Structures are given as structure tokens and as C-alpha cells.
Amino acid sequence: MPRYSIDDIDLRIPRHCLNDGLDQQLQQGVYEWKEVNGLKRHLKQGDRVLDLGGGAGYIAIQAARIAGAANVATVEANADMVKVIEQNLVLNHVDQVRVLHGAVVADAFSGDTVTFDVKPAFWSSAIASGPRQGAVRRMQVPALRLSDLMQAFEPNLVIMDVEGAERDMARQDWPEMVKTVIMEIHPQLYPPTGIREIFDAMSIADFAYMPWGSRGNLVVFQRLPD
């Protein structure tokens, strides 16, 4: 199994969950660097973190090193990657991080499961939209509503990489306890009007764009003070 070391964090990822581009980023140590930059800029010891789209567990491990492992929960839809996350948490001595299997959906979603496309590289897997293509494995996974996750974990920082589902997440009600949202947006999946919808929705929820920690398609939103 390929093994990587990034920022003193060890990751083991099965070969079938990788492609050449992802393997290269991991080898070069630039995997998820924008997310890590945002976390290090805004996360503090004792903060409570909800990580949506857990991947290989790298972001959850970074968050655990700052906030404490017991204060971090991570959500991942790909069952193969859930096992990878759990193994990487143990490998890095932060196995108190909570790991949930499921795909995050808006509260309006009806049903207990949602169709999820597992793609050859884990970082591009996403909730299904349109017909199945190529080597994609399509499966049903638990549907986890955002408000239920908020109620269960009471985070003050939410970080998400949910491959386009951020448009729906931005329109949700954000409880007062959430002070910072670190969001990867995906302009390749929707037109510029979709980006405007995200920013408009977060503004309505009393969040402002925060330049510090934002970089490219990694956007930090911070709640405005009362």
C-alpha cells in the first residue's frame, strides 16, 4: 500500500483509490495545502471541528493536532475511505476523532440513503448526478442531514470539500455556534451564477468573505460579530 508523509503526518492509501495526479500531489507534499493553510490560520486549541468530505483523513488529523482529537468529527461517503481514515487516525495517534460514514445532504432531502459515485481517485467521488460514466461505481450510502450533524457535534468551525454539494450547504440555516466555514468551491461543476449563489447565501446567514486563509477556490467565511 502506498505510504506518504506530509507535514509530519503519515498517510497510507490503497492503490485502487488513487490516480496519477493524486499520487503526484501526495508525493510532492502539496495535497490539500490550501485547506491546511486555512485551518492553521483560523483554528484554535479547543475549537470543535466538523470536516465534511474526509478523504484520507489528512484534514481531520491536521485539525486534531490543533484543536484536540476529541473535538473533531469527520464525514466520508466512500466506505473504502472510511476504513482508510480510521487506519490513518490510528497511525497518527489521533484515533479519538469521530468518523461517520455517509454523504452530507441538505435538510430538504427525503430518504435515508443517497446515490453516490465512487470514482477511481477518491478525491473526485461525489453524490451522483446524471448517468453513470466509465469506471464509476455507483452505490447507496447513508444520507446525513447537515442540521443533524450540527446538532450532534456543535462545531464552531466547519470545513468542507463536497464536490459541488456546497451550493446546497450554503443555503442551509447556520446555527450561531458556527463562527467559521472553510469551503472548497468547484467552479468546474457550476456556472459563475452558482458561485454568486454561495456568496449570497452565506451573506444572508451573516458570514463575510475572509481574505486571510482564502486562496483560489478555497474560501473562508467568517461570521460577523453581533
Tens of pLDDT along 20-72?
Answer: 999 999 999 999 999 999 999 999 999 999 999 999 999 999 999 999 999 99
8 Å CB contact between 124 and 23: no
Q: In this predicted structure, what is the pLDDT of residue 217?
A: 96
**Integer Cα distance of 192 and 57 in angstroms:** 30
**Integer Cα distance of 40 and 140 in angstroms:** 35
Query: Considering just the CA atoms, what is the radius of gyration of the chain in Å?
Result: 16
Could you tell me how far CA 81 lies from the centroid of its own chain? 13
Q: What percent of the chain has pLDDT over 70?
A: 100
C-alpha cell at 89: 487516525
120-175 pLDDT, tens digit per residue, is 889 889 999 877 777 789 999 999 999 999 999 999 999 999 999 999 999 999 99
Contacting residues for 145 by C-beta, under 8 A, at least 6 apart: 104, 105, 106, 107, 109
Average the pLDDT over 102-108 and give the result.
Answer: 94
Helix (H, G, I), strand (E, B) or coil at 9: strand
Q: Give the residue, 112 or 136, on which the prediction is more confident.
A: 112
| Inter-CA distances, 71 with 14, 23, 155, Å | 27, 30, 8
Average the pLDDT over 79-91 and give the result.
Answer: 97
Rounded to the nearest integer, the mean pLDDT of the chain is 95
Candidates 183, 163, 170; CA nearest to 78 is 163
Q: In this predicted structure, what is the pLDDT of residue 153?
A: 97
Q: For 73-87, 97-111, 121-135, 139-153, which range has the lowest pLDDT when averaged over its residues?
A: 121-135
**Integer Cα distance of 35 and 90 in angstroms:** 22
Q: In this predicted structure, what is the pLDDT of residue 133?
A: 75
Contacting residues for 217 by C-beta, under 8 A, at least 6 apart: 34, 184, 185, 186, 187
- The conformation of residue 119, written as its DSSP 8-state character, comes to P
β-bridge pairing 98-101 and 157-160 = unpaired
Q: In this predicted structure, what is the pLDDT of residue 134?
A: 73
State the pLDDT confidence band at 224, using cuts at 50, 70 and 90.
very high
**Integer Cα distance of 223 and 42 in angstroms:** 12
1-16 pLDDT, tens digit per residue, is 899 999 999 999 999 9
| Inter-CA distances, 2 with 78, 82, 136, Å | 19, 17, 22
Q: Give the residue, 90 or 226, on which the prediction is more confident.
A: 90
Q: In this predicted structure, what is the pLDDT of residue 63?
A: 98
**Integer Cα distance of 6 and 208 in angstroms:** 31
- The conformation of residue 78, written as its DSSP 8-state character, comes to -
Please give the model's pTM, rounded to 2 decimal places: 0.95
Candidates 220, 162, 212; CA nearest to 190 is 162
Return the bridge partners of 215, or none.
218
